[in-house]
A and B are shown apart, each in its own frame.
Chain A
Amino acid sequence: MLADIAERADPARRLEKTVDWEPLWLGPPGRRLYAAMHHAPGRAKVGVVVAPPLLSEQPRSRRLMFEIAGVLAAQGLPCLRFDYYGTGDSEGDGEAHDLAAICADLDVAVARLREHAGLTRVAVMAWRGAALAVCNWALRNPIDALILCDPVVDGAAWLAELESADRKERVSYERYPHGAGAGEASDGQLMGYPVSAGWRRGVSALRLSEIAPGARAAIWAVLRNATGTPEWARRMFVLPAGTPRFDGQTRMDATLFLSPQLRALIAELGRELARLEP
């Protein structure tokens, strides 16, 4: 029902059905990642790997990432989406999902897209917490461009926000009207997902302003309510007003969809990326 409402608000969604995509596995058995390649019409020079948000924001935004990949592919940019190891439909347990694993995932995904016929440049579009992880990866791995969308800029502050939201969720009256609650935080979960000590340590050590200058990539920032281009970014774009927030929700119907305004921004990013210089 919500999906139908979203479509009525944005008839352009129907056009995505014309863009071809295929699901696939990346990596060796035992460490396979579920991925999807959105093919672009014509001969493309630039491809995009989409790195989804982390933890509870990842399933919420799966539909959004799917729609974004479709828009980029329609702009002529082959686009590869994937689930991190230990998340979504990929192999592995949630406890194995940490910064080192994400780096390995990015290695595989970027290598797969580089194999795509005719591509000379590859960009990574990273959303929310993935911006920190991808920037961290780019310290050692050259890439043509990083597009950091609504990025988490301070890992420690974000972790504190997540832990606070998790504490509230565990005793939420809306979730537990009969009063039992989800029990102690010592069960190793954060917002319903297993999170290892390594994940917490790794993420909380990252600040975008510190790592972005060392990244071997041109960085574009896509920000909310931005007043000026951050020092660490070469270019800046602004998310449309009303773009829904990714954080703080674990309700099962809290799915994010592509609004017409956000679609226009993604299309603009696609056009700019298509002109990306080596």
Chain B
Amino acid sequence: METIVRFGPDSRLIGILSGAGLPADAPILVLPNAGLVPRAGPFRLHVQLARRLAASGLRTFRFDLPGVGESPRDPGLDYREATLAALEHLGANLRGARFAVGGICSAADLGWIAALSDERVVGVMMLDGMCYAGPWFRLACAMAALRRGPRHWVGLAARRLLKRKQACESNRPMDLRNWPPLEEARAQMTTLLARGVRFLCIYSGGIGDYFLDARQFGWTFGAAARNPSVKLHYWPDCDHTYFARAHRERLLETVITWLLGDVFPAAPARSEHSRSTVTVPLQHERVA
């Protein structure tokens, strides 16, 4: 059973909380929008995740950020503040709850930011999240260009002559997504790991504009990338939004395994909490 939750200034932001019968302190996976995709997620990924996690004793909270889906554009909060407002609201109503935050693309970035801002966040799910290009990316680009052959080289040279390169570089995700400078990102990850935060970092094949080689991750985050609290996957066969059913299934299994095994290993199994159900306040629910 899922519950409608209103939060933020004047309760103008809306999300869906799963796991109505779970204990109040059951962990919560918080899922902001993936880009402009409504909160149900790309191809309903967030809904499927919520249902499977609820069966394993974890709650999920998916919500629309300001201006996305059915949230107002100007609730007085930016994306970061809206995400923190969601954590605040959930934390106030479900005392003792701990969070994992993240998702695809911009949602991954919000997971990172939320972890830096709120110590109740113990897991960050970065699906096509932050990673810098660096030498491995440039090498992969060069190798790809070599494989494409002379016709591609001519085209590339022509584009450079037309100065399109500058335009491309101004659209790089590191510029558009407000990632911190590289050194700062490394320091932030080190800080979060020292606090015990767990990371799931999955890079798909759909982000060829900044990720083409798994070694980029180590180059970006240094020693922190090798920390056992960081799980890294590079799935070049998958696209950015997991269009294929088989790819979504792989993602769902990986996320659930990570949450139950790494982040919340003590989460109550469904059968356990069903014996001692604690009723959780279901605020703002309307049933017709």
Contacts and interface: CB of A to CB of B under 8 A. Distances in A.
A36 B70 contact: yes
Interface residues of B, number: 46
Interface string A232-250: 0000000000000000001
Interface residues on A, range: 35 or more
Given A14-B74, A250-B243, A252-B35, A63 B68 contact: yes
B105 A252 contact: yes
Given A24-B4, A63-B68, A178-B236, A2 B208 contact: no
A108 to B, nearest CB: 8
A161 interface: no
Interface in A209-238: none
A199 to B, nearest CB: 15
A177 B205 CA distance: 7
Nearest to B176: A1
A62 B70 contact: yes
Nearest to B144: A177
Interface in A169-189: 169-170, 175-178, 180-183, 187-189
Interface in B10-60: 14, 16, 34-40, 42-44, 47
A189 B37 contact: no
Contacts, number: 125
A4 B69 CA distance: 14
A207 interface: no
B70 A187 contact: no
B222 interface: no
B143 interface: no
Given A14-B73, A66-B70, A175 B44 contact: no
Given A66-B69, A112-B288, A59 B239 contact: no
B162 to A, nearest CB: 22
A175 B242 CA distance: 10
B243 A175 contact: yes
A4 B67 contact: yes
- Among A89, A112, A194, the most chain B Cβ lie within 10 Å of the Cβ of A89
Interface string B94-133: 0000000000110000000000000000000000000000
B286 A24 contact: yes
A17 B245 contact: no
Contact of B247 (A89, A112, A182): A182
Contacts of A194: 245
Nearest to A256: B36
Contacts of A182: 239, 243-244, 246-247
- Among B38, B238, B287, the most chain A Cβ lie within 10 Å of the Cβ of B38
A132 to B, nearest CB: 22
Contact of A17 (B43, B74, B105): B74
Interface string B70-85: 1011100000000000
Contact of A62 (B38, B104, B240): B38
Given A2-B36, A178-B205, A180-B205, A189 B44 contact: no
Chain A, interface SS category = mixed
A13 interface: yes
B244 A183 contact: yes
B67 A3 contact: yes
- Among B206, B286, B288, the most chain A Cβ lie within 10 Å of the Cβ of B288
A14 B176 CA distance: 25
A3 B73 contact: yes
Interface in B242-272: 243-247
Contacts of B14: 23
A158 interface: no
B169 interface: no
B183 interface: no
A13 B73 CA distance: 9
Nearest to B246: A183
Nearest to A58: B38
B1 interface: yes
B288 A253 contact: no
Nearest to A65: B70
Nearest to A108: B288
A35 interface: yes
24 contacts: A1-B176, A13-B73, A17-B72, A17-B73, A23-B6, A24-B4, A25-B286, A29-B1, A62-B69, A63-B36, A89-B2, A91-B2, A94-B44, A170-B244, A175-B206, A176-B237, A177-B205, A180-B205, A180-B236, A183-B244, A189-B244, A252-B37, A253-B36, A255-B37
Query: Which A-B residue pairs are the 3 nearest by beta carbons?
Result: A180-B237, A182-B244, A3-B67
Given A27-B288, A36-B70, 15 more contacts: A3-B68, A23-B14, A24-B288, A25-B285, A25-B286, A26-B288, A63-B68, A91-B2, A94-B44, A175-B243, A187-B246, A188-B245, A252-B34, A255-B36, A255-B37
